[in-house]
Amino acid sequence: MSAAATLHAWLYRLTASAPTAWHYDRLFRWMVIGAGVSLTVFVLRPHNPATSRPIASAPISSVPASLGPTYGAAGTPLAPPPPPALPNITPGRSLDGVTITPAPVDSFGSAPPATRK
């Protein structure tokens, strides 16, 4: 069986089951009604010339015509880079003297041993 024949048979079965679905299935019925209303509104939407976008006669540039000193010259940074800061736990406390230790063993979320009742 070719792909076209398979597709034709599938579409035939689908269209043959539509009246039964329309009669017995509320969800199918409301989906079809909603799709029909949406399609109607999309196709027949009123065109109001007052709210349509005006057509520009020339493209509008977002870049100013002349780059002044506020934009910086090519190759020069706009602001000096920030100095490298030491990581802090709280303001004024450095991590240089901090010792990292493993967390204590926690049995939360695990099953108790079989010997414990």
- Summarised one tens digit per residue, pLDDT across range 10-50 is 999 989 998 999 899 999 999 999 999 999 998 888 776 66
Q: Angle between the 3-24 and 26-43 helix axes, to the nearest 10 degrees? A: 110
pTM for the model:
0.35
98 in Cβ contact with 89 (< 8 Å): yes
23: tokens are 């009669």
Place of tokens 């599938």: 10
pLDDT at 35: 95
Provide the pLDDT for residue 49: 60
Mean per-residue pLDDT over the chain, rounded: 77
Query: Which residues contact residue 86 at a Cβ distance below 8 angstroms, ignoring those fewer than 6 apart?
Result: 94, 95, 96
- Structure-token pair, residue 57: 């006669």
pLDDT at 34: 95
Query: Is the pLDDT score of 88 beyond 70?
Result: no
